[in-house]
Amino acid sequence: MTTFNRRATSIAALALATIWASPALADDTTGENETAPRSDIVVTAAQLREAVVAGKADIPLIETPQAISVVSASDIEARGVTRLSEALRTVAGVSRSTTYGFYDAYTIRGFDAAYGSVYLDGLVNEAGVGFNQELSAVEQIEVLKGPSSMLFGQAPLGGLINLVSKRPRDEAFVKVTASTGSWNLVEGTIDANAPLNASGTLLARINLTYRDADSFVRNSGINRIFAAPAITWRAGPDTTLTVLGRYQRDHDSPISPVPSYGTVLPGVIAIPEDFSINNAGDLRVVNNRDRVQIGYVFDHRFSEALSFSQTLRYTRRKEFWDRWMFAAGFLDASGQPSYDADFNEVPTATIGRYYYGPYNATDKDLAVDNRLKGRFKTGGIEHEWLAGLDYRQNRQTYFSGGDFDATRFPLSLVNPNYNLPYDTSQVSGSPGASKSHQTGVYIQDHLKFGDLFTLTLGGRYDWADSSGQKDDAFSPRVGATMKLVSGVNAYASWSKSFLPQLYSQQVAGFDSAGNPIGGPVVPERGKNIEAGLKFAPEGLSLSGSLAVYQLIRQNVTTADPVYLDFVVVTGEQRSRGIEAELRWQPRPGFDLSLAYTYVDAKVTKDNFFTVGAPLSNVPKHNIGAFAQYEVQSGPLAGLGANLGVSYNSKRNGDIYSTRPDGSVLLWLPGYTLVDAGLSYKHDGWGLQLTVANLFDKRYWPDTGGIDRVTPGNPRNWRLTLSKQI
């Protein structure tokens, strides 16, 4: 995407960083890593991997009455992936939401989790959609399914994703990787760690990443610079402070989705796989994002029975985009929107486009979470208790512009002219600002009755204020586990969630002239009931989980049938499903992961959408599998191979186009993808080749409506050389 000089400069900077880090290797300190999360020391398939941050309390996963999945850094590396969506393919209950492939967004248990679902070290990482999370500095990914408001406050009903940062370790090491691949990929990473003093009380680690690539879609590409320094100070045997920083700079030319007519649906013109909605050269779309984060994790143990932790992070985000074009229907021979007598879209050989930009925003976020936890006994009952207070403040200023007269920006599907200057004479915009804050207090008690039964009781109260709209809510959770046999537990839970609805208004009254006056909308509420099994039998290299659930989303806003600029709170949606995950290690070097999801997510009450309509972008069936094998001994020791398969059934592409009789106009077809890889490791060196979408399947993973279908990546390859010292 960028020039050679820019690439060379960045790669040179990575090389200099390696030279700077190498003297620390002289101190070959080894020992147990006390600062990193415990699950990154030893993980075997016979263990349920622990959610070391997202659970907040020190409760084993098998005793936690909630479905939680964990993906480790070694899993991410073995699969050769750089995107969160790719890393989560073997997590049941998760599928991709509609952000057109450039931003991280998901549906979890059938409900959209695009906004506010990604956390970092237990604190919300984004106010909304806008960043792809960098995985090179992630130790593990934790997926909490179902309502998590009891611990985290306002959060998506379906669940959330927590990323755990890589932290300093005792031993000194440097790992360097260099990658190339499809679409002119150039990538380099460094992971350097070292103790800073002889006593080992001061440790440092830094992760650096440079990535530049074009896209299979014309006129598109990415460029990223990323750094994540971390310093740990062991102030004493019971006190640790880890300071964590992150810098991410993305300068991209993103793709735009294409019309469904000519791709998923029949059209006048078959739209090619690499078709671009955006122009080229100096007219190319610009999307620049810069994010700086600084924070810390503080832990102090007063005694074996009492400890305190505090996590704090400040984030500053800046984003700018311009000339970002989106398809907006078809144009007829006279250049006007093409519709039939019933106002149905009629495909032609020319599309209209909306012009988005300029957009300029600055976002500042402060979040802190204080946790006091301990244990005690009452008779024969053991208590693991947790009490917390958290606070978050967000301020945003922005200018948003555009021109939404699609007739001014025509584009031929037959012979597109990507160098035709835009008519920006009617582009206009306006500034805006918002401020929000949330305070929450929560308490949880995990009661253990001997070795057979546990009961978890928790509750949280939140106060939220967004630009003057005030909401408060109580979010309870009750759960229990029962040991069936050694290493096999059954569980059941009930919980509630809340999510303020900040950008809608309902009629609150009328002025003297009889005009409606807008007022705030009550928060969305969610209810979840689930039951399942978790198993990790001793002596067997087998672990997994099974969950059955029902989620009900209430207070859904729908269009006011009388006052069109307002909403009414009448909607309800329901998701029922089954999730199964299995991890098996039948022999050393061989690892198999399987996940299956069944979701029935639909509208149950509404005055606009058809009752019974399936929710958008939710496959009813989803399967993910990944197998890897590495030769352990002999002349071929270090040689490995892997194979991944993912399947998504057909999905409703546009709930808005669901017909009154319940039939669906836009079905996204189901698809199966196969990925494969080869690797070789020897004497600290590594070579890995991965091929994604091995059989070059054309597919569409998500959509934002009838004019916005996202094309999936065709077959692509990636070759990585690594060296660890």
Q: What is the pLDDT of residue 503?
A: 66
Q: What is the mean pLDDT of residues 177-195?
A: 98
Rounded Cα distance, 571 and 559, in Å: 10
In angstroms, the CA 1 to CA 216 distance is 12
- Per DSSP bridges, beta strands 138-145 and 159-165 are antiparallel
Residue showing tokens 């998923």: 264
Q: Which of 93-97, 163-167, 453-457 has the lowest mean pLDDT?
A: 93-97
Instruction: Please tell me the distance from the alpha carbon of residue 693 to that of residue 714, in angstroms, as a whole number.
Output: 6
Q: Could you tell me which residue, 33 or 261, shows the higher pLDDT?
A: 261
617: nearest Cα among 659, 648, 579: 648
Residue 485 has pLDDT above 80, yes or no: yes
- Using 50, 70 and 90 to split pLDDT, how confident is the model at 427? very high
pLDDT for the residue numbered 441: 98
Helix H or strand E encompassing 650:
none
CA angle 396, 400, 404 (to 5 degrees): 150
Q: What percent of the chain has pLDDT over 90?
A: 72
Q: Residues 317-341: what's their mean pLDDT?
A: 95
Mean pLDDT check: name the lowest of 509-513, 562-566, 606-610: 562-566
- Which whole number is the average pLDDT over 340-363? 94
CATH number for the domain that contains residue 425: 2.40.170.20
In percent, the amount of the chain with pLDDT more than 70 equals 90
Q: Is 61 helix (H, G, I), strand (E, B) or coil?
A: helix
Please tell me the predicted confidence (pLDDT) of residue 523: 85
**Per-residue model confidence (pLDDT) at position 7:** 43
pLDDT of residue 98: 63
- What pLDDT sits at residue 569? 80
pLDDT at 62 over 80: yes
DSSP 614: B
Considering its fold, how many domains does the chain have in total?
1
Residue 555 has pLDDT above 70, yes or no: yes
The more confident residue out of 94 and 568 is 94
Q: CA-CA distance, 403 to 425, in Å (whole number)?
A: 9
Domain range for 183:
4-724
Instruction: Note the pLDDT of residue 36.
Output: 44
**155 membership: H or E segment, kind and range:** none
Q: What is the pLDDT of residue 129?
A: 53
Q: What is the pLDDT of residues 256-278, one digit of tens each?
A: 999 999 999 999 999 999 999 99
pLDDT tier at 43, thresholds 50, 70, 90: very low
Give residue-wise pLDDT tens across range 449-477: 999 999 999 999 999 988 778 889 999 99
What are the tens digits of pLDDT across the range 492-521? 999 998 888 776 778 888 888 888 887 778
Report the SS3 class of residue 185.
strand
Q: Which comes out higher in pLDDT, residue 585 or 566?
A: 585
Q: Indicate the helix (H) or strand (E) that contains 621.
A: strand 621-630
DSSP string, 77-143: HHHT--SHHHHTTTSTTEEE-SSTTTS--EEETTEE--SS-EEETTEE--SSS--PPP-TTEEEEEE
Return the pLDDT at 44.
34
pLDDT of residue 466: 83
Confidence category of residue 123, pLDDT binned at 50, 70, 90 = very high
CA gap 272, 261 in Å, rounded: 12
Cβ proximity of 394 and 365 under 8 Å = yes
**pLDDT score, position 273:** 95
> What mean pLDDT, rounded, does the chain reach?
89
Q: For residue 583, what are the β-bridge partners?
A: 543, 593
Whether the predicted pLDDT of 47 surpasses 80: no
266 by DSSP, 3-state: which?
coil
Under 8 Å between Cβ of 305 and 371: no
Question: What's the pLDDT tens digit per position in 610-667?
Answer: 889 999 899 999 999 999 999 999 999 999 999 999 999 999 988 877 777 778 889 9
CA atoms within 13 A on the CB side of 508: 8
The yes-or-no verdict on residue 549 having pLDDT over 90 is yes
Which candidate, 468, 522, 529, 531, places its Cα nearest to that of 498? 522
- Examine the pLDDT at 566 and tell me if it is beyond 80: no
More confident residue, 610 or 696: 696
- Asked if 367 and 392 count as a contact pair (C-beta separation under 8 A), the reply is yes
Query: What's the Rg (C-alpha) of the chain?
Result: 26
**Given this model, what pLDDT does residue 385 score?**
97
In this model, does residue 186 exceed pLDDT 90?
A: yes
- Per residue in 196-245, pLDDT (tens digit) is 999 999 999 999 999 999 999 999 999 999 999 999 999 999 999 999 99
Q: How far apart are CA 49 and CA 44, in angstroms?
A: 8
CB 62 within 8 A of CB 481: yes
The CA distance from 407 to 444, in Å, is 58
Q: For residue 410, give every residue at least 6 positions away whose Cβ sits within 8 Å of its Cβ, in sequence order, or none.
A: 331, 335, 350, 351, 352, 353
Confidence class of residue 714 from pLDDT cuts 50, 70 and 90? Answer: very high
What do you get for the CA distance between the two ends of the chain, in Å? 32
Residues in the chain: 725
Task: Report the DSSP beta bridge partners of residue 643.
Answer: 627, 676
Pairwise CA distance, residues 404 & 406, whole Å:
6
Average pLDDT score over residue span 670-687: 97
